[in-house]
Amino acid sequence: MADLAIVYCSVHHGNTKKLLDAAAEECGVDLFSTEEAKKADLSHYHAVGFASGVYMSKLHRSLYDFLSGNPALPKKAFLLYTSGSGGQKYGNSFVALLKEHGLEVCGVYSCKGFDTYGPFKLVGGVAKGHPTPDEIGAGVRFVKEMAERAGHE
C-alpha cells in the first residue's frame, strides 16, 4: 500500500481525530497537525489527506492557511471531515481549492461528529455518539482505498 500523510485540525471534540487515529493504527498513515505539517516535508508521500471538523460551514482555517503557504505536496489528495449536521457539501470549497493548487482529489469522506457549539450546548449537544464505530470503520476503509488507489496509479 502507498504511503499516506494526513494533515488535520480537530479542535472541538476530537471527533475527526478519532477517525484518523483508527486509520493510523490500521493503515500506518502518518498524521500531522497543521502546525506540524508546516515544518514537515510531505512531498515524498504518495498522497496527502486533509481532515478537520466543520466550523461555520467550512473546514478549519488552518487547513486553508497551510495550503496558502504553497507547500511541496504529492499530486494526489483526499479529504475527510466531520460535522454536527452530517452535511455533504461542506468540503466543496476546499476541494475546489485543492484543484486550484493542481492536486487531483481522489475522494471525500464525511460523517457526523458530536456538536455542542452555541445553542446546541443547552440541549446537551447534537449528533451524540458520533462518529459511531460504523462511521469510524467506514472512514478507515476509505483511507485504505485512498492508499490502494495512490499505490496503483
The backbone torsions φ and ψ at residue 55, rounded to the nearest 5 degrees and listed phi first, read: -130, 115
- Give the span between the Cα atoms of 118 and 104, in whole angstroms: 36
Q: What angle do CA 136, 137, 142 make, to 5 degrees?
A: 95
Pick the binder of ligand FMN from 77, 83, 91, 147 (CB under 6 A): 83
Q: Is 34 in the site for ligand FMN (CB under 6 A)?
A: no
Q: Which of 56, 72, 122, 123 binds ligand FMN (CB under 6 A)?
A: 56
CB 71 within 8 A of CB 63: no
Type of residue at 91: G
135 binds ligand FMN (CB under 6 A): no
Among 16, 34, 62, 110, binds ligand FMN (CB under 6 A): 16
Q: Which residues in 35-54 contact ligand FMN (CB under 6 A)?
A: 53-54
Environment class of residue 109 by beta-carbon count within 10 Å: exposed (0-12), middle (13-18) or buried (19+)? Answer: buried
Q: Does 32 bind ligand FMN (CB under 6 A)?
A: no
Least distance to ligand FMN, CB of residue 104, Å: 25
Q: Which residue in the set 5, 7, 12, 20 belongs to the binding site for ligand FMN (CB under 6 A)?
A: 12
Residue listed under C-alpha cell 469522506: 109
Of 25, 28, 33, 57, which one interacts with ligand FMN (CB under 6 A)?
57
Per-residue x/- marks for ligand FMN, 97-116, CB under 6 A? ----------------xxx-
Nearest by Cα to 63 from 108, 93, 88, 87: 93
Site residues, ligand FMN (CB under 6 A): 10-17, 53-57, 82-85, 87, 113-115, 117
